[in-house]
Structure 1
Amino acid sequence: MVTVNEAKQLIIANTQLLEKQKCALDEALGRVLAEDVIAPISLPPFRQSSMDGYAIIHTDITQKGTPLTISGESKAGQADLPELKPGSTIRIFTGAPVPVGATAVVMQENTARENGTLTINEYPIPDGKNIRRVGQQIREGAVALGAGSLVSPGAIGFLKGMNMNEVIVHRKPKIGLLVTGDELLKAGDALVPGKIYESNSAMLAAALTNAGASEIEVKYAADDFAATAEALAALIRDNDVVLASGGISVGDYDFVGTALESLGAETIFYKVRQKPGKPLLFGKKDGKLIFALPGNPASSLVCYYEYVLPALRRMTGWSDPFLRALQLPVRYGYSFDGERDEFLKAKIEGSEVVQLDGQESFVIGSFAVADALIYLPVHQNKIEAGELVEVHLLPV
């Protein structure tokens, strides 16, 4: 049995980056850049006005009330601009190119216009005021976004503004998901005594989709050694990561562990000193990662967030793949006995975190409203209301 931190370290140490590939920028949201993006042009590519107002030569303004002759206009998208001469001004709009010769822009609110003459009611006016310099945002040839950057909506807008339509990212992993259990019914089946509706596959597929996975293969196997081994062999052959839900504990009908052993898979660790989610197995075969998750849904989802998701992120280039952690005061006191760290389903309300009802491993309803997990190591097994605890934020 390993600790929570040992399990995370072993997973990252055994997880490799997937190959690089080109990706259309329009499809890159949420992906991580595998290479630096170099700016092909400067932004702005020309001097721009940051205000509606008047382009001037700042040294023409010697006092408040200085008059200037209006000699033209510059609007956004205009290219044929006259050169600004001393003693004159050109009407200009936000985003429009600044005429040659102009050294500043005066806000129209600080001017008065009458009969073709403009009076400047501002003094002094510094050189460059209200002018966006060429390359003020980014210079041609500079690193616009570095490798490891997450492609956000803002990143897409930034790169599109430089006419970029492709980026280099790491390939998304192919995921295989095995669900085992004779007690499971599929959607639409009639409920009969002793049976329950299978929900882990839909739950995990939704979590995987939310993480950006695009290829998820789901197989079902009865509580039978041969069927379990056959399904696992096929999933390992065809995917980068295989998740098995259920069948990994110590019951007479839990065959996932022995099936993996028969297939020659290497077990990196089995069982984590935590609650819920103790019977977690992490292994490898032919470079493929294998996670055997507990069958109880809350245990399965905790293990997904804490261990599987970081591995998927690491494969696709995340430098810090774990859930974001905060220190927040807890609303209610809590205590537990035993030698295992605990994860509590929780919700952040205001400036504090609230542990939810229904912490048992089979209860998934509390996960439906949770947006965080409270992590309590064994040395913090008794907490008082208001005490700071480590909180892991769940993906939205």
Structure 2
Amino acid sequence: MVTVEEAKRRILNYTVALNIEIRSVSDALGYVLAEDILAGFSLPSFRQSSMDGYAILHTDITESKTKLTIAGESKAGKAEKLFLKPGTAIRIFTGAPVPEGATAVIMQEHTSIENGSVTINEYPVHENKNLRNIGQQIREGDVALPAGSFVTAGTVGFLTGLNIQDISVYRKPKIGILVTGDELVKTGETLSHGQVFESNSSMLVAALKLEGINDVEVYYSEDDLQATIQSLQVLSERNDVVIATGGVSVGDYDYVGKALETIGAETIFYKIRQKPGKPLLFARNENTNFYALPGNPASSLVCYYEYVLPALRLMSGRKECFLPAYQLPISHAYSFNGERDEFLKAFVSGGKVTSLEGQESFALRSFAVANALIYLPVSQQTVQAGDLVEVHLLPF
């Protein structure tokens, strides 16, 4: 049995980023850049106004209520290049080219218009006021975004504005899920005494989709050694990661560990000193990493968030792979006995965290409303209301 910290360390030691692929910027949301992206031109590529107002020469404004003659108009998209003469102003709109000779833009709210002239109700006026200068955002040839950057909606907009259409990113892993258990029945089928509806596969597929991982296939296996071996063999040949749920404990019909050994997977560790989720097994062969999660749904999801998800993020090129962790005051006292660290389903609100009712390993109702996990090591078995505890925020 290994500690929580040791389990995470071993998993990451055996996890590397996958190969690089080319994707269109519009289809790269949630991926990680594999190479630096250089700006092919400056942004802005011409001087722009950041306001609706009037382009002026700032030195023309020698006192409050200076009056200037309106000499033209510049609007966004207008190709004609305008020139500003001293003593005049040019009407200008947000994003429009700033006329040659203009050194500032006065927002229209600070002006008044009469008989073809504009009165500037502002003094003094500083050079470059309300101007976007060439290269203010990025200059031609500079690194627009470095390798390792996570592609967000803002990234897509920024790169599109640089006329970049395709980028190099790390591939996301292909995932195979194996569900074991003769007591499990698929949703929509008839439930007999002693059976339960299988929920782990849909839960894990949903969690993977939230991470932007959509290349997922699900197999089901009866509690039989040969069937489990065959399923794991097929899944390992087609996927980067195989996640098994159930069949990993010490029962007479728990065959996942034996099956993994049969197909040549090396067990890196089995069992973690934690509750819930003790019987987690991590194994690997030349091409595939295997995570055998407990069959109890809450245990399975805790192990996914704490161990599988960080590895999947690392495989996808992300550097910050663990759930965001914070120290927050707990809303009420809590204590536990034993020699295993505990993860509690919890809810963060108003700067504090509350552990939820229903901490049993089979209970998903509390997970359905949780937005965090409280991590309590054995060294912190008793906490009082207001004590700081480690909180891991769940992805949404």
TM-score bin, normalised by smaller chain:
over 0.9
Structure 1 residue aligned with 2:293: 293
Alpha-carbon distance, 1:108 to partner: 2.0
Trace 1:230-379 onto structure 2 (pairs within 5 A): 230-379=230-379
Aligned equivalents of 2:231, 2:82: Cα separation in 1: 74
Aligned equivalents of 1:235, 1:369: Cα separation in 2: 32
Runs of at least 5 residues in structure 1 that lack an aligned partner in the other structure: none
For structure 1, which segment, 385-394 or 149-158, has the greater mean C-alpha deviation from structure 2 after superposition?
A: 149-158
For structure 1, which segment, 51-60 or 239-248, has the greater mean C-alpha deviation from structure 2 after superposition?
A: 51-60
Structure 1 residue aligned with 2:217: 217
Determine if the alignment matches structure 1 residue 111 to structure 2 residue 107. no
CA deviations over 1:38-74 (Å, ceiling 9, x no partner): 1222111110111111111112222223322211111
AA paired with 2:40?
P
Structure 2 residue aligned with 1:22: 22
Whether the 8 Å CA contact 2:272–2:280 is kept in 1: the answer is yes
Structure 2 residue aligned with 1:197: 197
Paired residues in the alignment total: 396
Aligned equivalents of 1:56, 1:254: Cα separation in 2: 80
Aligned equivalents of 2:197, 2:125: Cα separation in 1: 73
Aligned equivalents of 2:65, 2:375: Cα separation in 1: 67
Determine if the alignment matches structure 1 residue 186 to structure 2 residue 186. yes
AA paired with 1:246?
G
For structure 1, which segment, 59-68 or 281-290, has the greater mean C-alpha deviation from structure 2 after superposition?
A: 59-68
Aligned equivalents of 1:362, 1:117: Cα separation in 2: 76
CA deviations over 1:291-315 (Å, ceiling 9, x no partner): 0000111100000000000010000
Aligned equivalents of 2:113, 2:221: Cα separation in 1: 82
Alpha-carbon distance, 1:352 to partner: 0.9
Alpha-carbon distance, 1:109 to partner: 2.4
Aligned equivalents of 2:341, 2:357: Cα separation in 1: 18
Alpha-carbon distance, 1:338 to partner: 0.8
TM-score normalised over the length of structure 2: 0.98
Aligned equivalents of 1:374, 1:28: Cα separation in 2: 33
Alpha-carbon distance, 1:36 to partner: 1.6
TM-score normalised over the length of structure 1: 0.98
Aligned equivalents of 1:295, 1:94: Cα separation in 2: 59
Secondary structure at 1:344 match in 2: strand
Alpha-carbon distance, 1:92 to partner: 0.9
AA paired with 2:16?
Q
AA paired with 1:179?
V
Aligned equivalents of 2:324, 2:82: Cα separation in 1: 54
Structure 2 residue aligned with 1:72: 72
AA paired with 1:186?
K
AA paired with 1:261?
E
For structure 1, which segment, 106-115 or 185-194, has the greater mean C-alpha deviation from structure 2 after superposition?
A: 106-115
Aligned equivalents of 1:260, 1:82: Cα separation in 2: 74
Structure 2 residue aligned with 1:33: 33
Aligned equivalents of 1:392, 1:112: Cα separation in 2: 56
Structure 2 residue aligned with 1:50: 50
Alpha-carbon distance, 1:349 to partner: 2.0
AA paired with 2:273?
R
CA deviations over 1:64-103 (Å, ceiling 9, x no partner): 2332221111111112133111221111111110001111
Write out the 4+ residue segments of structure 1 that deviate beyond 4 Å after TM superposition: none
Secondary structure at 2:307 match in 1: helix
Aligned equivalents of 1:321, 1:3: Cα separation in 2: 19
AA paired with 2:246?
G
Alpha-carbon distance, 1:34 to partner: 1.4
Whether the 8 Å CA contact 2:74–2:82 is kept in 1: the answer is no
For structure 1, which segment, 198-207 or 239-248, has the greater mean C-alpha deviation from structure 2 after superposition?
A: 198-207
For structure 1, which segment, 298-307 or 186-195, has the greater mean C-alpha deviation from structure 2 after superposition?
A: 186-195
Secondary structure at 1:150 match in 2: coil
Give the % identical residues.
63
Secondary structure at 1:67 match in 2: strand
Aligned equivalents of 2:191, 2:120: Cα separation in 1: 82
Whether the 8 Å CA contact 2:50–2:132 is kept in 1: the answer is yes
Trace 1:58-137 onto structure 2 (pairs within 5 A): 58-137=58-137
Aligned equivalents of 1:82, 1:393: Cα separation in 2: 54
Aligned equivalents of 1:261, 1:15: Cα separation in 2: 20
Structure 1 residue aligned with 2:387: 387
Secondary structure at 1:353 match in 2: strand
AA paired with 2:190?
A
Aligned equivalents of 1:349, 1:108: Cα separation in 2: 43
Alpha-carbon distance, 1:188 to partner: 2.1
Aligned equivalents of 1:187, 1:68: Cα separation in 2: 75
